[in-house]
Amino acid sequence: MKTILCVIGLTSLTLSIPAQNKIPVYLDDTQPVELRVEDALSRLTAEEKIQLLHARSKFSSAGVARLGIPENWMSDGPHGIRAEVIWDEWNQAGWTNDSCMAFPALTCLAATWNPEMAALYGKSIGEEARYRNKNVLLGPGVNIYRTPLNGRNFEYMGEDPYLASCMVVPYVQGVQQNGVAACVKHFALNNQEIDRNAVNVTVDDRALYEIYLPAFKAAVTEGKAWAIMGAYNRYKGQFCCQNEYLLDNILRKEWGFDGVVVSDWGGVHETESTVYHGVDMEFGTHTDGLASGAKNAYDSYHLAAPFLNLIKSGKIEEKELDKKARNVLRLAFRTTMDRQRPFGSFATPEHGLAARKIAEEGIVLLQNKNNVLPIRLQDTKKIAVIGENAVKVMTVGGGSSSLKAKYEVSPLDGIKNRAGVAVEVTYARGYVGEAIGTQDGLKTQNLSDNRSSDELIAEACRAAQDADYVIFVGGLNKHGYQDSEGKDRKELGLPYGQDAVISALAKVNKNLVVVILSGNAVAMPWVNEVPAVVESWYLGSEAGNALARVLAGDVNPSGKLPFTFPAKLTDAGAHAAGDYPGNNHEETYREGIFVGYRWTDKNNIKPLFPFGHGLSYTQFAYGKATVSGKHMQATETLTVTIPVKNTGERKGKEIVQLYIGDEKASVARPVKELKAFEKIELAPGEEKIVSFIISADDLKFFDDKRHEWVAEPGKFTIYIGASSADVRASVAFELK
């Protein structure tokens, strides 16, 4: 007898095969995956195929124990591996060994503009998922930043489809090298949380293909993602988890996706349309208690007994079941049944270092008048830290991305640690937000405070008066109506009266640094009153250490904004032209392709801070841009070069951005669009020649009448700069 040990979920099964028989093809990992899939499929009963397609707990689906095919185990989320919950409940399971490393939010990752950081992120979080025996990581998210009110923007990669595409590919590849499927979400047009379960999005095909789909396509065609998650909303009147146009026509036929499509939890609403045009795996349907209903009702899912009954009655052919079962089996052979799959690691010092490194590269220095930053600790006796966000836990909350972190260094503790004993660091509350001590079933801290806003501001000003530096740490948090799943923000402004606190501090101390923790743009009516503003995102376990190292100058800030900060809400296209948040569950994206900087450029609107903006503690000078030819045929490429020099006194990194504008087109086109970028590091006085190669593909728009990408002959301008609004050089050429 030959014995094979197969791991199934958290248990194992021993299969005995007679010695005279060969190993079944499906168990022989020397065979091509497609042969193994077909062999396994041929051995399954209809009932066994059905059980592959739907949940058996909140985060798992059944395998086939008879054949040694393991269960599938999913985990939120994109920023860390979610704590275990009770089998059929959302309540915490109370494990003592599931405290993960919290990585920065994906807005921070996008702000690094560094694909190497995306690869490090994916590799690290993939190792954590593998160690916890998860074979599907529910992330990353790449929905486009359309409105600064979207409560879930912090989970995504900004407003630009090219930047998001460049960052998602190495993330996916990093995760999957651990034998864990990256499940890219939420496909598609899930650009708001308000009314997300019902809203029907109307958007023209140009905007769909040019703005909202490219990052998903890159994840599939370049990153080779093994899983995609359908969205909650509707498109063309169909829910996205049972959408013929998105899932059949685009994902499967146009892009050739051969992975598994997973529903968002509760995103499936009907059986037949899901069978023919929908997801392969169904999770969280409301019958199991996602919102209400019976417990342990998984056999009642649309892809469970109802699907099987339609097959047995002859109304649906079993070949439709086979299509979905194939995709789930392929997932198993790529993950749990790959014997070369590494074992992973969990909450290690190496992962902490990775989290800190990503955080440091993503922090954005928005403003630095009079070179207030970096803090000169050698000349500093006292630092006053003000603001609730300096002490508030930020790894807990926000919805499905809420984490049970092994540790979280607060901004206050990070500043204290870096300042050392020679510098007095004092703290004052400044303002009071939510004071609850638990969220998402996890303990945070009780921050209740009954003092009035006047009392809090007076205390903060007293602390600030004689300080060498005042660091206000505010922004948003992970509670409802801020940066959180399920609800959108109600306004662009800061909550809890923070504007009044900042203005008061500016009057008593000229060395004021405002640090914003958020995953969204915020209004800054006080921006001209304060010298320094830092966007610090949600930075995860190493938040305080990363922030302190940037403030102190140990790290030269090099992050740049992955989305536009509008001066006011109506400066965003979704609010000036669109129907946000919709009427009677209908919303039209009237701004079309003009999202973010494309909108502000088109309408000559000056943003508060533009897309791609970010300062450094050193300075960079751009030389003259040159192009290898003034004319280009459609089959040719051009090389664009520009010298960039560090003219300051510190080593630093600069993100050189290349945009292209079509000077005359048959359709409305943006003034310019990001088509390339490179992050370079330069020592003081050092100069590098940055080169970009452009092709006709970089000049194309999507022709919705011909349903194809088109590059029209004519004149184009290349813009190279430090942000979308800070163009340092330009050069023209013509496409023949």
Catalytic annotation, residues: 264
Which among 245, 175, 232 is positioned nearest to 203, based on CA atoms? 245
Contact 470, 506 (CB under 8 A): no
* Residues whose CB is less than 8 angstroms from the CB of residue 45 and which lie 6 or more positions away in sequence, other chains included: none
Q: Which of 38-46's residues contact partners 24+ apart within 8 Å by CB, and which partners? A: 38/326, 40/67, 40/69, 40/329, 41/322, 41/325, 41/326, 41/329, 43/67, 44/325, 46/308, 46/311, 46/312, 46/318, 46/321
CA distance 445 to 168: 34
Query: Distance between alpha carbon 330 and the CA centroid of its chain, in Å?
Result: 26
Contact 692, 676 (CB under 8 A): yes
User: Cβ-count burial of 652 within 10 angstroms (0-12 exposed, 13-18 middle, 19+ buried)?
Assistant: buried
Tokens of 191: 């650009």
CA distance 332 to 617: 49
Say whether 609 sits in a helix, a strand or coil: strand
CA distance 471 to 452: 21
CA distance 552 to 423: 13
CA distance 268 to 288: 13
Tokens of 78: 């994109």
**Residue that the structure tokens 């996602």 belong to:** 290
Say whether 583 sits in a helix, a strand or coil: strand
Backbone angles phi, psi at 726, to 5 degrees: -120, 75
Q: Angle, nearest 10°, between helix axes 318-334 and 305-312?
A: 140
Contact 110, 361 (CB under 8 A): no
CA distance 17 to 24: 9
Query: Would you give the end-to-end CA distance of the chain in angstroms?
Result: 70
CA distance 333 to 69: 9
Contact 285, 296 (CB under 8 A): no
**Residue that the structure tokens 């208690």 belong to:** 289
User: Cβ-count burial of 432 within 10 angstroms (0-12 exposed, 13-18 middle, 19+ buried)?
Assistant: middle
Q: What share of the chain is helix, strand, coil (3-state, %, to 5)?
A: 30, 25, 45
